[in-house]
Amino acid sequence: MAFIHLDVGFLYTLLVCTAFGSMLSNAEIKVNPPQDFEIVDPGYLGYLSLQWQPPLFPDNFKECTIEYELKYRNIDSENWKTIITKNLHYKDGFDLNKGIEAKINTLLPAQCTNGSEVRSSWAETTYWTSPQGNRETKIQDMDCVYYNWQYLVCSWKPGMGVHFDTNYQLFYWYEGLDHSAECTDYIKVNGKNMGCRFPYLESSDYKDFYICVNGSSESQPIRPSYFIFQLQNIVKPMPPDYLSLTVKNSEEINLKWNMPKGPIPAKCFIYEIEFTEDGTTWVTTTVENEIQITRTSNESQKLCFLVRSKVNIYCSDDGIWSEWSDEQCWKGDIWKETLVFFLIPFAFVSIFVLVITCLLLYKQRALLKTFRDQKAEAFEITKKPFKSTSTFQTN
Ligand SMILES: *[C@@H]1O[C@H](CO)[C@@H](O)[C@H](O)[C@H]1NC(C)=O
Ligand SMILES: *[C@@H]1O[C@H](CO)[C@@H](O)[C@H](O)[C@H]1NC(C)=O
Ligand SMILES: *[C@@H]1O[C@H](CO)[C@@H](O)[C@H](O)[C@H]1NC(C)=O
């Protein structure tokens, strides 16, 4: 009994000591936040570098691999992005239309402290592009379309109430370009830049594409606008072509078309089909370039369809529908219609022509006959005196 009592007492003391000991040792360990935390803009129109230096450090932690917890966001967004890293920099894309805030602390992992993880306080920083011009001077209605996954075209309207001398310029950058580039082929309206036709953009898919449209005017500063998108999400394909509609039997119909020509792989398309059966229209989608459908009535006389295409969710997050293709139709009871509209009139015309020909032939023969008769008669008449002379002579 006494042994058990002693044992419990010992355990209790041990527990208290360990708890207190670890509290004590943790309380002693403090770590500083990283130094020189800053956000650096290398001129890539939104792709920024967050960078810092290691914290001031007591010697006995030198062996430890320390980590940093980095949090950042655009100023009005709800959520922080959180990154744990051992590096001294981190890069990401930001919307430069807004400010950016970021904070970082030092993390000492548990194995360095003989206890639980230790964190420093936060070091914080913010970044704003130097704001110039008022909001109204920004361009409006920026619209960018990547036609057939080949040609990027952007267009915009000038800011409200900007002076007549205002002109805008477009700059772009994506990972792979050494520096941001200016548009080389502006779309001009009355001599002012209102859009840009981009050159061929090598390996530019599936990465952030940054655009800045800024401008200048003698009378007022112009506020730049920044845009970030991924090119595969703004693709507008060409419409499908070579549509064919085959009625296999009284019920089954096969619709087929060619996928649009160009660099977009077949597996990247989704098609929308608008099918009309005697005035009733319905719409369906498919990822194949062919579809079997059932006629709702085998009496239907007119079947038509047209197709448009878009890049599907296996190849992008979003896309723009192509224009509709030309319409392809099939008309029921072609035989009956052909009979009414073509064969019967044709038969009539043929018979008419035949009759006329016969008549003419008959007439011609009759005419020839009379002509020959007349000739014969005339011959007889001219011969008679001669004949009589000859008879006269011989006689
Ligand atoms: C952790 O414990 C080891 C031995 O148990 C000791 O050598 C080391 O100094 C301790 N480290 C800290 C940070 O207390
Ligand atoms: C527009 O932006 C580009 C790229 O950042 C810069 O080189 C240029 O000086 C800017 N132009 C104006 C008028 O601010
Ligand atoms: C239409 O379908 C019905 C049955 O669904 C069938 O009895 C009829 O023969 C069909 N008519 C034609 C013209 O094929």
Ligand having the closest approach to the CA of 115: 1
Q: Which of 247, 248, 250, 300 to mutate to test the pocket of ligand 3 (most atoms within 8 A of CB)?
A: 250
Superfamily of 237-335 according to CATH: Immunoglobulins (2.60.40.10)
CA dist., res. 244 & res. 256, Å (int): 5
**How distant is the alpha carbon of residue 17 from its chain centre?**
66
Rounded to the nearest angstrom, the distance between the alpha carbon of 114 and the centre of ligand 1 is: 6
Same fold? 23-127, 135-235: yes
Percentage of residues of the chain with pLDDT beyond 90: 62
The CATH number that domain 23-127 falls under is: 2.60.40.10
The residue extents of the domains of the chain are 23-127, 135-235, 237-335
What pLDDT digit, counting tens, does each position of 322-335 carry? 999 999 999 876 66
User: Higher confidence at residue 44 or residue 347?
Assistant: 44
CA of 94 to the centre of ligand 1 (A): 43
- Most trustworthy range by pLDDT among 57-61, 76-80, 115-119, 267-271: 267-271
Q: Say yes or no to pLDDT of 381 above 60.
A: no
Higher pLDDT, 126 or 249: 126
Closest CA to 89 of 54, 121, 44: 54
Does the structure show a pLDDT above 50 at 260? yes
Protein residue with its CA nearest to atom 1 in ligand 1: 114
- Alpha carbon distance 337, 80 (integer Å): 70
Whether 226 lines ligand 2, by a CB cut-off of 6 Å, is: no
Confidence of residue 386 (pLDDT cuts 50, 70, 90): very low
What is the position in ligand 2's atom list of the atom closest to the CA of 45?
5
Q: Is the pTM of this model over 0.85?
A: no
Residue type, 384: K
Atom of ligand 3 nearest to the CA of 299: 13
Within 29-133, where are the H helices? Answer: 110-113
Fold of 135-235: Immunoglobulin-like (2.60.40)
pLDDT-wise least confident of 47-51, 119-123, 297-301 = 297-301
Q: Model confidence over 133-152: pLDDT tens digits?
A: 889 999 999 999 999 999 99
Long-range contacts of range 108-111, CB-CB < 8 Å, 24 or more positions apart?
A: 108/29, 108/31, 108/61, 108/64, 108/66, 109/64, 109/65, 109/66, 109/67, 111/64
Q: Is the CB of 113 under 6 A from ligand 1?
A: yes
Task: Return the best residue to mutate from 114, 116, 117 for the ligand 1 pocket (most ligand atoms within 8 A of CB).
Answer: 114
113: closest CA among 25, 191, 21, 212?
25
Ligand 2, atom 1, residue with closest C-alpha: 214
Q: Distance from first CA to last CA of the chain, Å, rounded?
A: 190
Residue 250 near ligand 3, beta carbon < 6 Å: yes
Ligand 1 atom nearest to 113, measured from its CA: 13
Cα(48)–Cα(71) distance, integer angstroms = 14
